Amino acid sequence: MSHWIFTEEHQMFRKAVRSFLEKEVEPNIEQWEKDGETPRSLFKRMGELGYLGIKFPEEYGGSGLDLIMEAVFTEELSRCGAGGVGAAIGSHTTIAMTNIWRYGNHEQKQKYLVPGIMGDLISALAITEPGGGSDVSAIKTTAKKDGDYYLLNGSKTFITNGVNADYVIVAAKTKDEPVHRNISLFIVETSSKGYSVGKSLKKLGWRSSDTAEIFFDGVKVPKENLIGNKNEGFLYIMKNFQYERMTLALGCIGAAEKALELAMKYSKERIQFNKPLSEYQVLRHKMVDMAVDIEKARNITYRALYLYNKGENCVTEATMAKAVATEMLNRVADQALQIHGGNGYMMEFPIQRIWRDARIQTIGGGTTQIMNEILTKQLGIIS
């Protein structure tokens, strides 16, 4: 559906992205799912087309466009039917490189942002550790100053692009106390001595993105690779969570639209008792409910996007969007699979992949329960 937040330019861009994905991505999804990764060639191709630098300044090879334009790209990427592809590209542009763009210096942007925008280097963000996820303040990886370097020790897990990344934005403790003022962000090149990648993790969904454990054993990180100010990494992470959660919500809207599209198509083609499924009122109404569910999540998410694009604080709105849209996608994907009946359970039907990919959305980027706990504070339910 159209929405006032999008201009004609946004809609033209949407058509171009959708056409590209239909021609160059969707035919390859099954192979990439088997390979367990999105190939470097796609990063390079998207870099050539300008898709990796939509919001980044022209000075560094980006297009200098608004965040709403990037939101269009995020939605369309999720409509391709493979959450893993969206996760790989989104982790590179939205989650990892955004930290360099917002908080890095000119030299860091020239060295890491420019080739990242071109698709020549792949990036990842490493925060989650084996001992904890949502509690960022509890990380145990450390970075201790040693002359012109920081010595990095520790490990991370569930890192998207962790296998193929050329550099990783790593959150590490640079002092013991106080909590929330003792974490810094570093750019760590994966070719560094002491850096290693553990096993590539096998996942229920998002199979076309590589996910790994990574380890740091005395990795020497040049002091110039500190992003922003020392001990302010926790603040940077929290600020970026607003946009990360909005992009997750946007991705859920795109994926849910695809799930509904597949269900509608199947319902018109599948004949049962001498008529198509779409002629059964119970299924017609089910699909209407799915469309309404998507539209409710869409408007909550677009409200958050509108405020964020204006530079306003939207913690409440972004948190609501993440909670609502991710739960919505799970409901819509489940109902779409149900409409497919037994065929929906078969691997050759794409609805099963959307159903599997949907499950992580209420977990990654902060669980629904964490979102609700944030909202209890934002709404003043508890102090």
Domains of the chain: 8-121 (1.10.540.10), 125-232 (2.40.110.10), 234-378 (1.20.140.10)
Give me the sign of the Cα torsion angle 67, 13, 81, 25.
negative
Instruction: Give the pTM.
Output: 0.95
Q: For residue 101, give both structure tokens.
A: 């763009």
Mean pLDDT of 340-357: 97
Tell me: the pLDDT tens digits for 258-271?
Answer: 999 999 999 999 99
Contact of 72 with 10, CB cutoff 8 Å: yes
Which of 244, 257, 317, 327 is catalytic? The answer is 244
pLDDT of 131 > 90? The answer is no
What pLDDT, on a 0 to 100 scale, did the predictor assign at position 132? Answer: 75
Mean pLDDT of 39-46: 98
What pLDDT, on a 0 to 100 scale, did the predictor assign at position 174? Answer: 98
Q: Which element (helix H / strand E) includes 376?
A: helix 368-378
Whole-angstrom distance, CA of residue 340 vs CA of residue 116:
40
Contact of 96 with 70, CB cutoff 8 Å: no
> CB-side exposure of 363: number of CA atoms within 13 Å?
10
Tell me: the pLDDT tens digits for 208-238?
Answer: 999 999 999 999 999 999 999 999 999 999 9
The neighbour count for residue 288, using CB atoms within 10 Å, is 10
> Annotated catalytic, 244?
yes
pLDDT band at 374 (very low <50, low <70, confident <90, very high): very high
The neighbour count for residue 199, using CB atoms within 10 Å, is 9
pLDDT band at 1 (very low <50, low <70, confident <90, very high): low
